[in-house]
Amino acid sequence: MTIHESKENNVYVVSLTGRLDIMNCEPVEQKFAEVIDTKNEMQLLVDCSQLTFVSSAGLRLFIIALKKLNLKGGKMAFCALDSGTMKIFTISGYDKLFKIYDSRETALANF
């Protein structure tokens, strides 16, 4: 799992590369905590263009981040999910909890 971060148009972007499963959730959990709690960012976009798999442990991290942001009046969205990841989001109902955009550009334009 590789994590890349940037800030674009007042939106904090976390790009995930590889598999997000129980074996490598901790760095992502720490990154989300840093972004939301320490840096006090209010708008978080998770770029999944290089994410190849997400497990239930990974999905749990997304819910935790969403709850923290909701308490602060913030927003969280996802972009560029591949068909497998989108299927996981649909089956779990996450497609109804999160805004999901086809591309980073579209997501940034809609924050």
The domain locations on the chain are 2-109
Q: Are 29 and 3 in contact (CB under 8 A)?
A: no
Q: How far apart are CA 62 and CA 53, in angstroms?
A: 14
Mean of the pLDDT values across residues 4-21?
A: 96
Query: pLDDT value at position 93?
Result: 96
SS3 65: helix
Average pLDDT, the chain: 96
Query: pLDDT value at position 96?
Result: 97
Q: How far apart are CA 57 and CA 42, in angstroms?
A: 23
Query: pLDDT value at position 101?
Result: 98
Q: How far apart are CA 111 and CA 103, in angstroms?
A: 13
Q: How confident is the model at residue 78 (pLDDT cuts 50, 70, 90)?
A: very high
2-109 under CATH 3.40.50.1820, yes or no: no
Query: pLDDT value at position 110?
Result: 95
